[in-house]
Amino acid sequence: MSNPWHIGEILIQKKLIDWKQLEDALAEQQRTKEFLGEVLIRKQHVPRFLFYKALAERHAIPFADLAHVFIDARAVQRIPRSVALKYKLIPIEIQDHTLVVGISDPLEALPEKEIAELAQVAAIKTVLCTPEAVAAAIESNYGEQPAGIGTAS
């Protein structure tokens, strides 16, 4: 398991939180068993967006703000909605036979080989996004969930 101090140290180095806030959040985490980031965000010590930027740095993967990223419909068409929902990912674009996908959890195991085969690309490249942005992008790019008589937009 990864050491929770690592992300805390990055947040402190970036002056997003101080040691007291980190110690407070770690103590709360012991009680609630939540992820450290969720405690820091819930206590409003750090905005979710900035936390995820730091988390991307911690895991050495790029961060993407989906609000300012063009999502290519040709990339979306390569991955079924069910796969996007299962792995909480959003296909963003295809660059040189590589499918770029937005994910919200850098620790979630992604079957990259299978997804690459499914999408008919040579490789998968991941970028980290906030969970809300991934969920919203899946909804807006794949349409509403079928719920009986739905209204398609």
* Per-residue pLDDT tens digits for 43-83: 999 999 999 999 999 899 999 999 999 999 999 999 999 99
Instruction: Answer whether residue 72 is part of any domain.
Output: yes
Q: Does residue 88 sit in the same domain as residue 28?
A: no
Please say whether the beta carbons of 94 and 68 come within 8 A: no
Instruction: Answer whether residue 153 is part of any domain.
Output: no
Domain count, the chain: 2
Convert the pLDDT of each residue in 105-133 to its tens digit. Answer: 998 889 999 999 999 999 999 999 999 99
Q: Does residue 28 sit in the same domain as residue 77?
A: no
Q: Does residue 79 sit in the same domain as residue 48?
A: no
C-alpha distances in Å from residue 11, one per residue of 26, 31, 57, 87, 110:
13, 21, 10, 27, 26
Structural domain containing residue 94: 66-142
Q: Does residue 42 sit in the same domain as residue 77?
A: no
Q: Does residue 70 sit in the same domain as residue 132?
A: yes
